[in-house]
Amino acid sequence: MTPRSDMTLEWHLREVVAEEAGAESVKEAVRAVFTYMHSGRSRQRRGGRELVRLLEEARAAAASVGEWQVVRLVQDAIEYAEGRITRYDFEDRYRLFADGKRRESHTGFLGSVMKSMHRWLYDSGQEFLVEHPEAGIEDFLEHFRAQGEDALFLQAPEDRPGRYVIPRGRAEITLWLERIIRSGRIDVMDPAAEARKIVASPEALALLAADDQGRILLQAAELRRRAARLKELRTVVEDRTASEADVQRALDGQYWIFGGRFVDEAAHRRLVPGDEVDIPLIRGDGALHIVELKRSMSLKGPLVKRHRDAWVPAAQVHEAVGQAVNYLTGLDENRERIRADFGIETRRASALVLVGHPALHPEVPEDEVNEALRTFNAHLTRVEVLTYKELVDNAERSLAGDGPVQGA
């Protein structure tokens, strides 16, 4: 949401904040906010992030001279601009526009909402009693509790303008689906949010009804999630300004991208004093596999170089492999302690080095870049080198093999 700027905010700053400000530095900071709000070509007040920045400067100016009342008032202005305080609450809190009196329109609006709500409760209760004449008071109260839960899934049918529908039982289905997600080994970042998203789709509900355990639906949801994360990763590795930290954030929690050999990601990255691996994976046999991340399109130097009549890995690749070998040596030397402290087997540990992108060398065919690295890998025993593009391409092929991905 773009930070807003309107008459309510301006009145608050002029009639409340400016009156409380004492120091000239604070008054100047507030005037700077006014100047920006009216600096546009049109008559409309200017908002946006710059407005919030200027308000933050005014808050800091007030704090520096100990005007804490002004700090609180400006903080309320920031929260209003960012939409964290509603206009009704903001105006009522400071009694704006009405000589300090509460606005009758707010009271009337709230009263109308409460009247409509109670009318709906009355009609819904009558309908329930007609359909269930044998119901007791507990059944009656449970009906309204379920109605309240289902209200979170309010729908607006396209074929019935101005009408809204609360689908019965939707909350119960969502809770059941969320519990299925939480009970398995499916990598869903937010089970509750994913469950709500799934049951909001009529097509998804049809699949859910056709499958007793909801496996098809869960697989489809997970494939969509993975496809979206993979798309984000490809964007990062193709960005010429992305750092190693950017790549690591894009890969966070996505160990499936590295293939089916891995069953989990280790919780600890600092297994050896002085060394911290980028991504520690656990193979199916329980052994450790470390992933060393280097830059992709922002690699400082060539990925491959010409040697005689062939392309060979350049210095950046050799340095990364040397670093991975040092990690493996440290893991070997500390094997007993690591197994005792963390329960991780490092005797058969291996490493993957992710570095560079074929697009760094537009003059070299991509298959020749990949072949140069494969030839290099053939002479290594515990370390493998891969470009980010090949990693993402492999993961995409894996998703395609798992079934169609909606929205990929």
pLDDT tens digits for range 265-313? 777 788 887 788 888 888 877 889 999 999 999 998 899 999 888 899 9
The answer to whether residue 168 scores a pLDDT higher than 70 is: no
> Contact at 8 Å (CB) between 227 and 399?
yes
Name, in order, each residue with C-beta under 8 angstroms of 229's C-beta and a sequence gap of 6 or more: 250, 254
Record: fold of 240-400: Trna Endonuclease; Chain: A, domain 1 (3.40.1350)
pLDDT of residue 4: 86
The answer to whether residue 134 scores a pLDDT higher than 80 is: yes
* Distance (Å) of CA 3 to CA 37, 44, 55, 280, 293: 12, 14, 11, 41, 37
pLDDT of residue 186: 45
**Extents of the domains making up the chain:** 7-94, 108-151, 240-400
The answer to whether residue 177 scores a pLDDT higher than 70 is: no
CA distance 224 to 30: 48
Q: Which two tokens stand for residue 55?
A: 């308000």
Instruction: Provide the whole-model pTM.
Output: 0.49
The answer to whether residue 238 scores a pLDDT higher than 50 is: yes
pLDDT of residue 284: 79
Residues for the chain: how many in total?
408
The answer to whether residue 181 scores a pLDDT higher than 60 is: no
Q: Which two tokens stand for residue 137?
A: 């008071």
The answer to whether residue 146 scores a pLDDT higher than 80 is: no
Between 177 and 247, the higher pLDDT residue: 247
The answer to whether residue 396 scores a pLDDT higher than 50 is: yes
- Element of type H or E holding 288: strand 287-293
Give the mean pLDDT of 21-36: 92
CA distance 25 to 393: 57
Query: What residue has token string 């990949």?
Result: 370
**pLDDT digit string, tens, across residues 335-389:** 898 888 888 888 889 999 999 999 999 999 999 999 999 999 999 889 999 999 9
The answer to whether residue 185 scores a pLDDT higher than 50 is: no
Long-range contact set of residues 147-154: C-beta below 8 Å, sequence gap at least 24? 152/196, 153/196, 153/199, 153/200
pLDDT of residue 25: 93
pLDDT of residue 408: 32
Grade residue 404 by pLDDT with cuts at 50, 70 and 90.
very low
Q: Which two tokens stand for residue 389?
A: 């593009």
Give the mean pLDDT of 328-339: 89
pLDDT of residue 215: 56
pLDDT of residue 86: 77
Between 198 and 95, the higher pLDDT residue: 95
Give the mean pLDDT of 219-231: 76
Neighbours of 118 (CB within 10 A): 10
> Contact at 8 Å (CB) between 92 and 106?
yes
pLDDT of residue 397: 85
CA distance 214 to 211: 5
**pLDDT digit string, tens, across residues 59-113:** 999 888 888 888 889 988 898 888 888 776 777 677 665 444 545 555 565 566 6
Please state, for a pLDDT cut of 90, what percent of the chain lies above it. Answer: 28
What are the percentages of helix, strand and coil residues in the chain, rounded to 5?
60, 10, 30
Grade residue 190 by pLDDT with cuts at 50, 70 and 90.
low
Angle between helices 335-342 and 315-333 (to 10 degrees): 70
Helix (H, G, I), strand (E, B) or coil at 119: helix
Helices and strands (H, E) in the chain, number of each type: 17, 7
pLDDT of residue 49: 87
The answer to whether residue 6 scores a pLDDT higher than 90 is: no
Between 168 and 32, the higher pLDDT residue: 32
Grade residue 264 by pLDDT with cuts at 50, 70 and 90.
confident
